Structure 1
């Protein structure tokens, strides 16, 4: 296209983005993350990503920065910046492995655990808000379909990082 007034090609013009499953899932994820961030920022002073990382570390699902990078599909430098912020706030610490001196484990501090313990209530509250009006059967069906998408795309269903 040489001019903004030119018509976009039919592949762009005719594609109904709001009917694309991936787009809808992405928008729903973004909306949920924004709602969680509103709550975690006002109640705990952290973002939804920081909250989720604290929970993943505290629950034992992710113990290394590399685990977090794989789980969230982000590069190691982004994880390092997030971990730096959480460490500066004294919510986690880096601990060298006694078995492998190259490995640095992430461990929550007592303040980090106190925040992580509050997260299930926030996560569930946002989920309940988003699923208002759904029957328990619909919620179960939605979970089942999302698990199938994860399985079809090679992602672990249990929330652990992909190896």
Structure 2
């Protein structure tokens, strides 16, 4: 494969990744609409359900979000009673975030809706192809250290 062909494939991959992300976000947004949750809300809830607690700073890193958007998202989840903020005993500027009981219940429902949406998104792939795609995207997103 010539260097021109490689560059063409790389550009196509970038565009395909962007289109795939936009389609997935739209399908998930539609699925979560009955709960009045956005993909951003779901992402925060997913990480809090997985990790138990986190900080806004860690969520920013894990989700690749912007600070203002993250503050707005956590504030919205807090107002709806889905997230609890607990001040760190070691650093008064730091708050630990966790899901409330209502947040866990809503997350469970949202996860079911998102799982159904994922079936739609990946319907054209076999289970082995899905595993391969996950492996390849992991290596692109988190390359090993040189």
Q: TM-score, length-normalised on structure 2?
A: 0.82
Q: 2:12 aligns with which of 12, 20, 32?
A: 20
Structure 1 counterpart of 2:65? 74
Please list the CA deviations of residues 44-63 of structure 1 after superposition, one character each: whole Å capped at 9, or x if unmatched.
Answer: 11111101111111221760
Structure 1 counterpart of 2:105? 114
Q: 1:93 aligns with which of 84, 90, 97?
A: 84
- For the residues of structure 1 that align with 2:29 and 2:52, how far apart are their CA atoms? 21
In the TM superposition, 1:115-130 aligns within 5 A as 115-130=106-121
Q: 1:32 aligns with which of 11, 24, 41?
A: 24
Secondary structure of the residue that 2:19 maps to in structure 1?
A: helix
Q: Are the equivalent residues in 2 in contact too, given 1:90–1:112 (CA < 8 A)?
A: yes
Q: Are the equivalent residues in 2 in contact too, given 1:55–1:119 (CA < 8 A)?
A: no
- For the residues of structure 1 that align with 2:122 and 2:64, how far apart are their CA atoms? 26
Q: TM-score, length-normalised on structure 1?
A: 0.74
Q: RMSD value over aligned CA atoms?
A: 2.4
- For the residues of structure 2 that align with 1:95 and 1:77, how far apart are their CA atoms? 20
Q: Which one has a larger percent helix, Structure 1 or Structure 2?
A: 2
Q: Are the equivalent residues in 2 in contact too, given 1:92–1:112 (CA < 8 A)?
A: yes
Gaps of 5+ in 1: 1-14, 155-163
Structure 1 counterpart of 2:54? 63
